[in-house]
């Protein structure tokens, strides 16, 4: 009996020793980092961006009761830059804050996942959210967010998010409300949008036919991304949503006056120059005048005066470093109803640059134009017309070249511009000129007089894209 008690005691002592040894080993493994769980957890924690390194600033937007919040990361390993509005309505702010937070979290998660999958903690991403604000009838504001991100310079995404709200009540307005809550009105709009997309030469060769058919079906969920800009309804599509990335981010612009018959009464425009959306053929003669490489303090001002004389609208593709020194002139261009485009920071051939350098050329110019005007450029023209897949992937607005080169940059002769225009003129032409040459400013009057006599309407590049046909 005594021997049995001793045996049981030894067994208990041995089991206790084994248990204690097991605990010691487990603790040692966890602390030393040999645990797979510990490794993954530690890596994730080390990768997380330190929110205290973010910089936030608040500025006035230029619109009543709307401030702009600018948030950027000071952590070079996880860079990001965001702009978003703050309004007087908590509900609007809450919805936008959720979009901003979700977008940032998605970007950070994508970078962390890429790092873990590739076992490379040095992978750097790039993430920017830019904002455009548009006012309609004094009562409504459109917020248009462009969300661009990349990971390790290999994966580029660009998406659009929009909000339309009543600045008197803080209520959001969706397409269902805009179209008087009637499916038959949506059917009319959907048919028009589909025709505009498929007939637009800027997108035609790049379209995903089946996706276009699907995403223009008259279903409310297909028409969530829209804004009202300069009395036009703008429908947006993400990059690679209905067309290959080479097409950029397709947009369809429709005059609100076309839409009047299918709009709820409170959203109708007083402009009745074109009063039905059924009007889908445009027989008028149009031309888009474009000016590159400015602004120039003297030449651009003279060109603006000549354009005003003929009530002509134009598009100015501006170089960033010139904008920086002529902010007031840039604001004057926009105030006169002209369109502003991005033409890179210092007119480099973008096809010779790295993706990071291309982004710097593009984003720096976007930012300096926004600082001057409160609006981002709506179109992009690469210097020398040089572009490749990298440029196409990184630029989120329409890339616009030209159909008539006046060669004003070559001859610098005011008398040679008009003959070149006459020789090559066609309907829906995009004419290339430069607002840095005095000879161009001197020769512009005769060009406008000729085009006006020929019955051409002067429109911006964005307007003409909807009407342009192949020569």
Q: What is the pLDDT of residues 254-267, one digit of tens each?
A: 888 889 889 999 99
Report the pLDDT averaged over residues 14-19.
60
**pTM flag (> 0.85):** no
Q: In whole angstroms, what is the distance from residue 382 CA to residue 353 CA? A: 12
CB atoms within 10 A of CB 383: 20
Report the pLDDT averaged over residues 41-70.
70
Q: In whole angstroms, what is the distance from residue 403 CA to residue 214 CA? A: 32
With cut-offs at 50, 70 and 90, classify the pLDDT of residue 417: very high
Q: What angle do CA 57, 58, 60 make, to 5 degrees?
A: 145
Question: Phi and psi dihedrals of 365, rounded to 5?
Answer: -70, -45
pLDDT of residue 204: 79
* Domain edges within the chain: 53-134+144-158, 174-281, 285-465
Residue 44 confidence (pLDDT) above 60: no
Annotated active-site residue 292? The verdict is yes
Catalytic residue among 338, 434, 435, 437: 434
pLDDT of residue 345: 97
pLDDT of residue 471: 33
pLDDT of residue 26: 54
Q: What pLDDT, in 10s, does the model give residues 343-363? A: 999 999 999 999 999 999 999
Report the pLDDT averaged over residues 196-216.
89
Higher pLDDT, 336 or 439: 439
Residue 433's DSSP bridge partners are 291
Report the pLDDT averaged over residues 312-322.
96
pLDDT of residue 23: 54
Catalytic residue among 126, 134, 157, 292: 292
Report the pLDDT averaged over residues 177-184.
94
With cut-offs at 50, 70 and 90, classify the pLDDT of residue 275: very low
The mean pLDDT value of the chain amounts to 85
pLDDT of residue 276: 55
Question: Phi and psi dihedrals of 183, rounded to 5?
Answer: -65, -35
Please give the helix or strand (H or E) that residue 365 lies within, else none. helix 355-373
pLDDT of residue 35: 37
Judged by average pLDDT, the poorest of 11-15, 126-130, 186-190 is 11-15
The domain at 285-465 falls in which architecture? Alpha-Beta Barrel (3.20)
pLDDT of residue 8: 56
> Which among 64, 144, 132 is positioned nearest to 377, based on CA atoms?
132
Residue 282 confidence (pLDDT) above 60: no
Annotated active-site residue 134? The verdict is no
pLDDT of residue 32: 46
CATH number of 174-281: 3.90.640.20
Residue 17 confidence (pLDDT) above 90: no
pLDDT of residue 14: 58
Cis bond before residue 295 (omega within 30° of 0): yes
Q: What is the dihedral of CA 332, 334, 336, 337, to 10 degrees?
A: 180
53-134+144-158, CATH topology level: Heat Shock Protein 90 (3.30.565)
Judged by average pLDDT, the poorest of 12-16, 132-136, 315-319, 459-463 is 12-16
Q: What pLDDT, in 10s, does the model give residues 374-414? A: 888 989 999 999 999 899 888 888 899 999 999 999 999 99
pLDDT of residue 46: 39
Q: What pLDDT, in 10s, does the model give residues 232-252? A: 999 999 999 999 888 888 999
pLDDT of residue 85: 96
Q: What pLDDT, in 10s, does the model give residues 85-110? A: 999 999 999 999 999 999 999 998 98
> Which among 341, 348, 359, 354 is positioned nearest to 398, based on CA atoms?
341
Residue with tokens 């609208």: 313
Q: In whole angstroms, what is the distance from residue 237 CA to residue 224 CA? A: 10
With cut-offs at 50, 70 and 90, classify the pLDDT of residue 302: very high
Q: In whole angstroms, what is the distance from residue 66 CA to residue 59 CA? A: 9
């Amino acid at each position: 009996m005594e021997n049995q008690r001793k045996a049981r005691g030894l067994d208990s002592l041995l089991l206790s020793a084994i248990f204690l040894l097991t605990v010691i080993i487990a603790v040692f493994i966890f602390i030393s980092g040999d645990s797979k769980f510990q490794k993954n957890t530690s890596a994730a924690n080390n990768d997380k961006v330190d929110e205290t390194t973010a910089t936030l600033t608040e500025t006035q937007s230029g619109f009543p009761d709307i401030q702009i919040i600018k948030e950027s990361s000071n952590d070079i390993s996880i860079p990001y830059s965001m702009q978003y509005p703050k309004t007087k309505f908590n509900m609007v702010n809450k919805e936008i804050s959720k979009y901003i937070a979700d977008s940032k979290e998605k970007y950070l998660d994508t970078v962390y996942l890429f790092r873990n999958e590739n076992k490379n903690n040095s992978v750097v991403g790039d993430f920017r959210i830019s904002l455009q604000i548009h006012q309609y009838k004094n009562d409504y504001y459109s917020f248009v967010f462009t969300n661009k991100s990349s990971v390790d310079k290999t994966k580029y995404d660009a998406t659009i998010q929009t909000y339309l709200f009543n600045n008197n009540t803080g209520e959001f307005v969706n397409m269902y409300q805009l179209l008087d809550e009637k499916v038959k009105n949506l059917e009319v709009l959907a048919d028009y949008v589909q025709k505009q997309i498929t007939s637009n030469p800027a997108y035609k060769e790049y379209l995903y036919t089946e996706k276009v058919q699907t995403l223009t079906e008259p279903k409310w969920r297909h028409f969530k991304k829209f804004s009202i800009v300069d009395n036009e309804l703008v429908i947006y599509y993400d990059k690679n949503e209905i067309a290959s990335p080479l097409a950029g981010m397709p947009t369809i612009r429709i005059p609100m006056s076309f839409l009047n018959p299918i709009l709820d009464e409170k959203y109708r425009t007083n402009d009745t120059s074109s009063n039905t959306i059924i009007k889908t053929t445009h027989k008028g003669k149009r031309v888009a005048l474009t000016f590159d490489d400015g602004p120039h303090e003297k030449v651009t001002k003279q060109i603006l005066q000549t354009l005003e004389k003929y009530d002509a609208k134009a598009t100015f593709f501006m170089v960033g470093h010139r904008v920086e020194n002529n902010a007031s002139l840039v604001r004057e261009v926009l105030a006169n109803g002209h369109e502003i485009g991005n033409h890179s920071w210092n007119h480099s051939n973008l096809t010779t640059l790295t993706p990071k350098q291309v982004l710097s050329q593009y984003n720096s110019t976007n930012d300096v134009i926004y600082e001057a005007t409160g609006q981002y450029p709506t179109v992009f023209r690469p210097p020398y017309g040089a572009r490749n897949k990298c440029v196409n992937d990184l630029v989120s607005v329409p890339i616009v070249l030209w159909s008539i080169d006046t060669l004003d940059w070559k001859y610098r002769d005011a008398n040679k511009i008009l003959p070149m225009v006459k020789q090559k003129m066609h309907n829906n032409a995009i004419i290339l000129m430069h607002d840095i040459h005095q000879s161009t400013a001197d020769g512009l009057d005769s060009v406008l007089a000729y085009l006006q006599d020929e019955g051409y309407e002067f429109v911006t590049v964005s307007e003409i894209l909807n009407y342009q046909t192949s020569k």
